[in-house]
Each structure stands twice: as C-alpha cells, then as structure tokens.
Structure 1
Amino acid sequence: MSNKTSRRSFLKGAFDRAAAMRPVGALPAMEFEDVCTGCGDCARACPEGIIFRDSEGFPVVKLRRGECTFCNACTDACDTGALVAGNAWPWRARAKASCLSRNGVQCRACQDHCESQAIRFRLQPGGSSQPLFDADLCTGCGACAAPCPVNAIEFTEISQQLETSKC
C-alpha cells in the first residue's frame, strides 16, 4: 500500500499509516472521508465479498479475500457520492521480498491466476526466477493475491500523471 497519509490520519498523529485501498470509484482520500457515511451499502452490494470496514468504519477492499471484477456494484449502491463510476482504480500489484520465487523456490501461482498476463518471470543466473509486474497491463484486480501461498503480493497506489499546458 501507498504511504500517503490522509488528513484524518494526520490529525490523529498516525503519520506513517498506509493509504487505505478504498472501493472502485472512490474519491481522493480527503474528499472520500468527508463524503462517505460508512453506511456499508457498498460492502453489502459487492458480489465478491471483498469490501470490509476499517477501524474508522470506512470501506476498504481486501484483495487477499478474492479478486475485484470491476462490476461497479459498489459504486451503483453508493448514494452519498463517495464512489463515482468512471474514477480510475489506482492500485497495482507487485511482489514483496518474501516471494517464494525471489527466494529460490519454484512458484508461479500469481502468474497462473493473472488473466491480463501482467506477471512474467525472468530466469536469473543460478536457476531462480524473478517476478516482473507490468504496471501497464496490471488492472489491480487482485486475482494474484489470494492464491499466493506466502502473502507476498502487495498493492501500491500509482500516481496519476497530470497534464500540463501553457497558459
């Protein structure tokens, strides 16, 4: 997860709290926490059952429980406007140092479950393979996370590149 601190976390003194993975279509962190009522409609609407409440009652996505199919049931169920259809999903997968393949053990569970083929393995000298995640192909769906036997898949928030134009 990203290390951006939300305003709520900052005011509570939790400066190093990782950014929460909010449901698809979530507004930016500060706006989301101002608009979301914590009603739980998005969690009840999720057919995959991957939306839960965090310690403050806001919805978070837990991709270790299953993958997101981007069906937008959560955004359709949100009446407050905290989840908006069409907002980009900013999360992408990557392997942590605890990845079995990075430690010389043959495993390709993440690659086998990645429908977008965003995960490849590069053979290294000595016979081990290193996982390579293509951020352009990765949808951040989480299909690779649940089957990982050592919980070595993490998700990072990609920054949206802003267009700049001359005035």
Structure 2
Amino acid sequence: MSNINQSRRRLFSRRKSNVIRPPWSRQDIDFTDICTRCDKCVEACETKIIIKGDGGFPEVNFTIDECTFCKKCVEACPESLFTATDESPWQIAATINDTCLARQGIWCQSCKDACDSRAISFTPAIGKAPQPQIDTDICNGCGACVAPCPSHSITLLDNKNVES
C-alpha cells in the first residue's frame, strides 16, 4: 500500500523543471498553471527557438538559434504569463563543460565570436589553447554561444547555479 501512495505522490508532485521558458515568463509552476498551450508564442518567435516541449508547454531550445529579446512572444500571448519587459528577461547564464575543445587543448573560440555582449573571453595559457571564461554579470542569457559550439559544451543554467 505504501508503494502505491508513493507512486501517487510522485505523479502529482509539482517539481521545478530545468527547462528554460520564454523570456520574461513567470516561474515554472505558475507558468504551467496559466499557459493554455495555444502556441502563439511558438509561432511569434522570430528565431524559432521557442518550441513545444513536454506536455505541449513552450520552452526555449538554444541549439536552434539565439534569443534576440524581440518581445514578440510576450506580445502574442493572450494570458498573463509574462512579467514587465523592462526587467531582466531571465536569470540564466551560459556555462561551459569539460567537453569544450579549448579545454581539450584544441584552439576554438566559436562561442566568443558569437557573443555580442562580450561575456565570453579567453585567457591565454603557456603551452595550451586559451581557456574560456564567462562573465556571468555580463551574460544576458541570449544563447548565441550555444548553437555554434562544435562540441555542444555550452548550456544555459539558472544564474544562481552558474560558475564561470
């Protein structure tokens, strides 16, 4: 009987998701409570990075392109899903894992070249490839660095959990 109760609890538990919702959107649990899955934000996204995710809820996929913060998703939404657009669009920042080519000794700076905000820099090192550094205070979470990375080493995470 206790296994059944645990299964039910897991079924109805409301855990915070790791997916990235559109910019300026409410926190995940509030988001899924209010979103009607109408797809208007998906259709409005100029770079097509907002896709239908789990359960049909919109989420951002930076492997497609970057967010230009055009606000078209906000304008298209008929619900009260979005906060004031004069605030920061979200609290995410890029992070680079150990599969990065530069960290493997191969000269690569494709992420730096794609970063308009100049949040990514490379520190020269004697005898090895320059190493990437992300200034999370400058990173706006646009995701421009994700798609060009040849080793898929960049992800965007909640700013509170990011170390450069």
TM-score, with normalisation over the residues of structure 1? Answer: 0.82
- Cα deviation code 1:104-158 (max 9, x no counterpart): 0110000011111100111234323221000111111111111111111111112
Unaligned runs of 5+ in 2: 1-8
Which structure would you say has the larger Rg?
Answer: 2
**Distance of 1:15 and 1:84 partners within structure 2:** 22
Who is 1:47 aligned against? 46
State the aligned residue count.
150
Q: Is the 8 A contact 1:122 1:132 kept in 2?
A: yes
- Cα deviation code 1:16-75 (max 9, x no counterpart): 985110001110111111101111100001111111011211000001100100000001
| 1:133 counterpart = 2:152 | no
Q: CA RMSD in A?
A: 2.1
Unaligned runs of 5+ in 1: 1-9, 160-167
**Percentage of matched positions with identical amino acids:** 37
User: Could you tell me how far 1:15 is from its partner in structure 2?
Assistant: 9.2
Q: Is the 8 A contact 1:119 1:131 kept in 2?
A: yes
**Distance of 1:100 and 1:12 partners within structure 2:** 40
Aligned-partner residue type, residue 139 of structure 1: N
1:136-155 equivalent positions in 2, closer than 5 A: 136-155=137-156
Cα 1:143/1:14, change in 2 over 3 Å = farther
Q: Is the 8 A contact 2:17 2:28 kept in 1?
A: no
**Distance of 2:110 and 2:11 partners within structure 1:** 39
